[in-house]
Amino acid sequence: MALINFGGTEEEVITREEYSLEKAKQNLSNETLAVIGYGVQGPGQALNLKDNGFNVIVGQRQPSKSWDKAVADGWKPGENLFSIEEACEKGTIILFLLSDAGQIAAWNTVKTHLTEGKALYFSHGFGMTFNDKTGIVPPNNVDVFLVAPKGSGTSLRRMFLAGKGLNSSYAIHQDATGKAFDRCISLGIGVGSGYLFKTDFKREVYSDLTGERGILMGAIAGMFEAQYNVLRKHGHTPSEAFNETVEELTQSLMPLVAENGMDWMYANTSATAQRGALDWRHKFRKLNEPLFEELYQSVASGKEAERVIEANGQENYREQLEAELKEVRESEMWQTGAEVRKLRPERN
């Protein structure tokens, strides 16, 4: 492990330089990795592992759009693509990558095949942390751990194909075989992690649910809408409002932040922009910290988990979800965004 100083706090991380892909492949040379689910995380992790030379099979319900996607991605029925039950039976490490609701529905099937010495892998701590609501309690004679890439499965795959890595957290919940750490880290390297940092199941799901509802998705969407609406109310055109709200952030400024940090981005903007940003950031922080605290407490209390399970359990959930997504998609701001993206010049 490497000891890194993160802003004055030392933290141990695991990199690909010290834990090589060859070492990971050797550790798992006798394992069959059964990826259960081919929705959000499944495709990226399964394909990356396969391309890295691991023995991977996929388990997916048939018929389904995800089964068809797996076939389109090159997985072959009866060879490395099976039903969930058959893949669980064949796998020595079961990568449980169904949605949180899907994990609840499939748990009894998966649990049946968790025989002594196998391992159960997660990429989200939801099912285990809120097991009083999900019923997911693994037997004591199997390894249980997680590797949670900090991004979507699509991003994980794209970065892998570009020769890059997406950072991941890891956690060992249960070490029944004495091999849980090496199994876990080997999978973390195999799926294409940039570096791995330690967590536990509870901290992973608390931070993940807070981030998704907060700055990663919920908060930024709400902030986009608020600024766009104010600009439109004061007579700015849709194109101007969208470019000042979304396009400049995603296409110009955030790449600078990703490259060298917020201070570097500030240093590479105008003096007028610098002054305003440095002054107003304090107001936005003071305004939003209480809201983020409210969000965190809602996660920690289990209210957010209850909401997810209740909503996903409704018979018409898919229809309700599509209606909500349609509202976003057909709003003026995102209709404008669709046109703005068409106008981006092609880079040769």
| pLDDT digits 0-9 by tens, 54-64 | 999 999 999 99
Q: Are residues 59 and 193 in the same domain?
A: yes
- For residue 116, being part of any structural domain is answered with yes
Strand partners, 10: 5
Last residue of a domain, one of 151, 172, 199: 199
Residues 136 and 171 in one domain: yes
Closest by CA position to 33, among listed 169, 171, 179, 183: 183
> How far is the C-alpha of 338 from the C-alpha of 348, rounded, in Å?
22
Q: Hey, what are 173's tokens?
A: 């919940």
Whether 322 is covered by a domain: the verdict is: yes
pTM for the whole thing?
0.93
Query: pLDDT value at position 338?
Result: 97
**8 Å CB contact between 48 and 191:** yes
CB 57 within 8 A of CB 32: yes
Domain match, 91 and 160 both: yes
Domain boundary (199, 230, 263) is at 199
Specify if 209 maps to a domain: no
Of the pLDDT bands very low, low, confident and very high (cuts 50, 70, 90), residue 1 is confident
Query: What is the domain extent for residue 304?
Result: 214-342
Q: Are residues 222 and 137 in the same domain?
A: no
- Are the C-beta atoms of 180 and 145 separated by less than 8 Å? yes
Q: Which two tokens stand for residue 96?
A: 């449980």
| Two tokens, residue 264 | 């570097």
Whether residue 206 is contained in a domain is answered as no
Task: Judge if 220 and 180 occupy the same domain.
Answer: no
Asked if pLDDT for residue 348 goes beyond 90, the answer is no
Residues 248 and 303 in one domain: yes
pLDDT, tens digit, 9 for 90 and up, residues 216-252 = 999 999 999 999 999 999 999 999 999 999 999 999 9
Is residue 262 in some structural domain? yes
Catalytic residue among 124, 173, 234, 236: 124
How many residues are present in the chain?
348
94 and 153 assigned to the same domain: yes
Q: Which residue type occupies 228?
A: Y
Answer for the pair 176, 117: CB distance below 8 angstroms, yes or no. yes
Sign of the four-CA dihedral 230, 231, 233, 238: negative
Please check whether residue 277 is in contact with residue 253, taking contact to mean a CB–CB distance below 8 angstroms.
no
CATH code of the domain covering residue 104 = 3.40.50.720
329 shares a domain with 252: yes
Residue at 208 is within a domain? no
Same domain, 48 and 121: yes
- The pLDDT of 290-302, averaged and rounded, is 98
**Class of residue 51 by CB neighbours under 10 A (exposed 0-12, middle 13-18, buried 19+):** middle
For the chain, the domain total comes to 2
Looking at 166, 199, 232, the residue that finishes a domain is 199
- Mean pLDDT value of segment 89-99: 97
| Beta strand pairing call for 56-59 and 166-174 | unpaired
Name the 3-class secondary structure at 331. Answer: coil
| Residue 104, phi then psi, degrees to nearest 5 | -60, -45
For residue 27, tell me if it sits in a domain. yes
- Given a cut of 70, whether residue 259 has pLDDT beyond it is yes
Per DSSP bridges, beta strands 81-82 and 143-149 are: unpaired
pLDDT tens digits along 106-163: 999 999 999 999 999 999 999 999 999 999 999 999 999 999 999 999 999 999 999 9
Same-domain check for residues 163 and 266 = no
Query: In angstroms, what CA-CA distances link 213 with 49, 247, 296, 298?
Result: 30, 22, 10, 11
Compute the distance between CA of residue 83 and CA of residue 122 in angstroms, rounded to an integer. 19
Residues 113, 137 contacting (CB under 8 angstroms): no
Pairing of strands 33-36, 2-6: unpaired
Computed on alpha carbons and rounded to an integer, the radius of gyration of the chain in Å comes to 22
| 63 found inside a domain | yes
- Same domain, yes or no: 314 and 285: yes
pLDDT at 346: 73
Specify whether the CB–CB gap between 145 and 183 falls below 8 A.
yes
Count of Cβ atoms closer than 10 Å to residue 37 Cβ:
26
User: Are the C-beta atoms of 168 and 148 separated by less than 8 Å?
Assistant: yes
- 173 a catalytic residue: no
Cα-Cα-Cα-Cα dihedral of 290, 296, 301, 305, to 10°?
130
Same domain for 194 and 232: no
